[in-house]
Amino acid sequence: MKFFVDTADVKEIRELNDLGLLDGVTTNPSLILKSGRDIVEVTKEICSIVEGPVSAEVTATEYSEMMKEAAALSRIADNICIKLPLTLDGLKACKALTSDGHHTNVTLCFSANQALLAAKAGATFVSPFIGRLDDIAFDGMDLIREIRQIFDNYGYETEILAASIRTVNHVKEAALIGADVVTAPPATLKALVKHPLTDKGLEMFLADWAKTGQKIG
């Protein structure tokens, strides 16, 4: 499973990348706002840190304007993945950009039929939003399950990028179902390592080691 981090915070991205945990980055207009930085400047910096795909989202809603924004975003770096909304114009742009050799991420996916359309448009990634479905009392994981089955039925190569991940259990469930990628906030990715028995066990080993009076190396 690939791990993307869902942030435009360069410090956090650098830290996770140095840990060897990052396969890519996803951003969106809300995350750019949160960063307080210029979209081109911050995206360029992110692309220089991470080797994998960095999703940068268009904000136009009409096809030809989307294509203009996509051209501007793709000039930022070679590893830019153009993020497009799951609308008819977004799908049309996805088809055109994919045919042109660009990587694409179709976002704001809340139904299996929407994911099917993204796959038919040749999207590199489709982003079903787990947490936002859970927020309205649906089960976001049911959507991942449905998309996995549909893509496997027809051999679609579009990767399922589980987004709007809020908990470590979301990560585990998405992995069990077979999502190809998970994008999560930095804190959630770092929390995956946590287990109280690991902390307790390490504490005991270190205490016993100190009693031996030995040193390695």
Catalytic amino acids?
Answer: 83
In the complex, least distance from residue 27 CB atom to ligand G3P, rounded to whole angstroms = 7
Choices 42-50, 125-133, 187-195, 207-215; region in contact with ligand G3P by CB under 6 A: 125-133
Alpha-carbon 9 to chain mean position: 14
Pick the closer one to ligand G3P by CB: 28 or 104: 28
Task: Give, in degrees to the nearest 5, the angle at Cα 104 between 98 and 106.
Answer: 120
**Judged by CB under 6 A, does residue 132 bind ligand G3P?**
yes
Question: Does residue 7 interact with ligand G3P by CB under 6 A?
Answer: no
Residue 175 vs 204, nearer CB to ligand G3P:
175
Q: Which of 35, 43, 74, 164 forms a contact with ligand G3P (CB under 6 A)?
A: 164
Residue number of the CB atom closest to ligand G3P: 164
Residue 153: CB atoms within 10 Å: 8
Contacts of 84 (CB under 8 A, 6+ apart): 57, 58, 66, 70, 90, 91, 93, 94, 97, 104, 105, 106, 107
Please provide residue 90's backbone torsions phi and psi, each rounded to the nearest 5 degrees: -65, -40
Under rule CB under 6 A, which residues in 134-163 are in contact with ligand G3P? Answer: 163
Near ligand G3P by CB under 6 A: residue from 7, 26, 35, 114: 26
Give dist(CA 118, CA 127) in Å, integer. Answer: 9
Q: What's the CA gap between 76 and 53, in Å, rounded? A: 12
| Choice between 90 and 200, CB closer to ligand G3P | 90
Q: How would you class 20 by CB atoms within 10 Å of its CB: exposed for 0-12, middle for 13-18, buried for 19 or more? A: exposed
Of the two residues 135 and 152, which places its CB atom closer to ligand G3P in the complex? Answer: 135
Instruction: Give contact residues for ligand G3P (rule: CB under 6 A).
Output: 6, 26, 28, 129, 131-132, 163-164, 166, 183
